[in-house]
Amino acid sequence: MRMQILTLSLVGAAVLVGAESKAQQPTPPNLDAVPEKMPFSTPYGAPIGAERAQALIETAAAEATKKGWPMNIAVVDSGANLVAFLRMDGALLASISVAQHKARTAVKFRRPTKAIEDAVQKFDFKYLLTIDDVIASRGGIPLIEDGKIIGGIGCSGGAGSQDEVICTAGAAMVNK
């Protein structure tokens, strides 16, 4: 009898915890709503040049060095073509292509890759993962100058939050 009461108590507690965690979830956007304006419609501009892309990488790498986080850092132009890349000593080999992919995704989809990560994680929008060239991991940021996308920066090698910190440091040279 005691075991049954204990089991029922544990099951009841689990149900309450599950209900509370669901209650704390943000309300997902209505995918059937038709917005008045196009979301994420920042126009593409002239591509970032190699010298400036290299300066962004140097700024991001300086921040990564200061924190002791070896990173792969990529900058692409407004056409999502690789312009500059750095693999810091000791950076994860698997993250070479991931950094480039994050930069390309930020440009092609005109938004930080964190927006895609949030859609998958917070709203369970797994369908986004079926779209070509999507990466749902923070650390990709579009570079916007005078209201136009001139490129994107992508960082990979640490936790997503670390990648985002390093990317933000580099992107701050352009994004004001």
The rounded mean pLDDT for the chain is: 89
CA distance 11 to 3: 12
Give the number of other CB atoms < 10 A from CB of residue 25.
10
Look up the pTM and report it.
0.82
* Range with the poorest average pLDDT among 10-24, 59-73, 103-117, 156-170: 10-24
CA distance 151 to 104: 8
pLDDT in tens, 105-122: 999 999 999 999 999 999
Segment 163-171 shows an average pLDDT of 98
State residue 5's pLDDT score. 45
Percent share of the chain, pLDDT over 90: 76
Query: H-type helices in the chain, by residue range?
Result: 2-23, 50-67, 95-108, 113-123, 160-171
| Residue 128 CB-half CA count within 13 A | 21
Give the number of other CB atoms < 10 A from CB of residue 137.
20
Task: Give the DSSP per-residue string, 120-155.
Answer: HHHH--GGGGGSTT---SS-EEEEEETTEEEEEEEE
pLDDT in tens, 62-106: 999 999 999 999 999 999 999 999 999 999 999 999 999 999 999
State residue 125's pLDDT score. 93
Helix pair angle (113-123, 95-108), 10° resolution: 90
Which tokens is 44 given?
């593409």
Residue of 148, 149, 166 whose CA lies nearest to 157: 166
Domains of the chain by start residue, with CATH: 50-171 (3.30.450.150)
Strand (E) or helix (H) holding 26: none
